[in-house]
Structure 1
Amino acid sequence: MKTRVLLADDQVSIRTGFRRILEAQHDLQVVGEAENGVTALAATRSLVPDVLLADIRMPEMNGLELTREVMQSTPSVHVVIVTTFDLDEYVHAALGAGACGFLLKRSRSAVLIEAVRAAAAGDSMISPEITTRLLSRFRNRPLVVHQSSELLTKREQEVARLVAEGMTNADIGAELFISAGTVKTHLAHLQKKLKVQNRVGIAAWVWGSGLMEEP
Structure 2
Amino acid sequence: MQAEDQKLRVLVVDDHPLFRFGLCTVLNAEPSIQIVGEAANGRDAVSAARAFQPDVVVMDLHLPDIDGIEATRQIVTERARTGVVVLTMFNDTESVFAAMRAGARGYLLKGSGQEEIIRAVHAVGRGEAIFGPDIANRVIGFFNAGPVTSDPIFPELTSREREVLALIADGESNSVIARRLSLSPKTVRNHVSSIFTKLHVADRAQAIVRARKAGLGEQPPGGGQQ
TM tier relative to shorter chain: 0.5 to 0.7
Give the match's secondary structure for 2:9: strand
Q: Calculate percent identity across the aligned residue pairs.
A: 39
Counterpart selection for 2:39 from 31, 34, 46 = 34
C-alpha offsets along residues 18-71 of structure 1, whole Å, 9 cap, x if unaligned?
111111111011111001000110000000000011100100111110111012
Does the C-alpha gap of structure 1 residues 89 and 24 become closer, same or farther in structure 2, counting only changes over 3 Å?
same
C-alpha offsets along residues 171-211 of structure 1, whole Å, 9 cap, x if unaligned?
xxxxxxxxxxxxxxxxxxxxxxxxxxxxxxxxxxxxxxxxx
Aligned position for 1:97: 102
CA distance in 1, matches of 2:32, 2:100: 26
**Gaps in structure 2 of 5+ consecutive residues:** 1-5, 146-226
Tell whether the 8 Å contact from 2:106 to 2:130 is kept in structure 1 after alignment: yes
CA distance in 1, matches of 2:72, 2:32: 24
Output aligned runs, 1:32-111, within 5 Å.
32-111=37-116
Please give the TM-score of this superposition, normalised by the length of structure 2.
0.59
Output aligned runs, 1:3-22, within 5 Å.
3-22=8-27
Size of the alignment, in residue pairs? 141
Output aligned runs, 1:1-215, within 5 Å.
1-136=6-141
CA distance in 1, matches of 2:30, 2:118: 8
Give the match's secondary structure for 1:29: strand
Does the C-alpha gap of structure 1 residues 32 and 86 become closer, same or farther in structure 2, counting only changes over 3 Å?
same
Aligned position for 1:156: none
Name the aligned partner's letter for residue 86 of structure 1. Answer: N
| Aligned CA-pair RMSD | 1.8
Divergent runs of 4+, >4 A = 136-139
CA distance in 2, matches of 1:67, 1:114: 20
Does the C-alpha gap of structure 1 residues 138 and 122 become closer, same or farther in structure 2, counting only changes over 3 Å?
closer
Comparing 111-120 and 129-138, the one that deviates more: 129-138
CA distance in 2, matches of 1:122, 1:75: 11
Does the C-alpha gap of structure 1 residues 75 and 134 become closer, same or farther in structure 2, counting only changes over 3 Å?
closer
CA distance in 2, matches of 1:71, 1:92: 16
What's the offset of the Cα at 1:96? 1.1
Name the aligned partner's letter for residue 25 of structure 1. Answer: E
C-alpha offsets along residues 86-110 of structure 1, whole Å, 9 cap, x if unaligned?
1111111111111100110111111
CA distance in 2, matches of 1:130, 1:95: 12
CA distance in 1, matches of 2:10, 2:21: 13
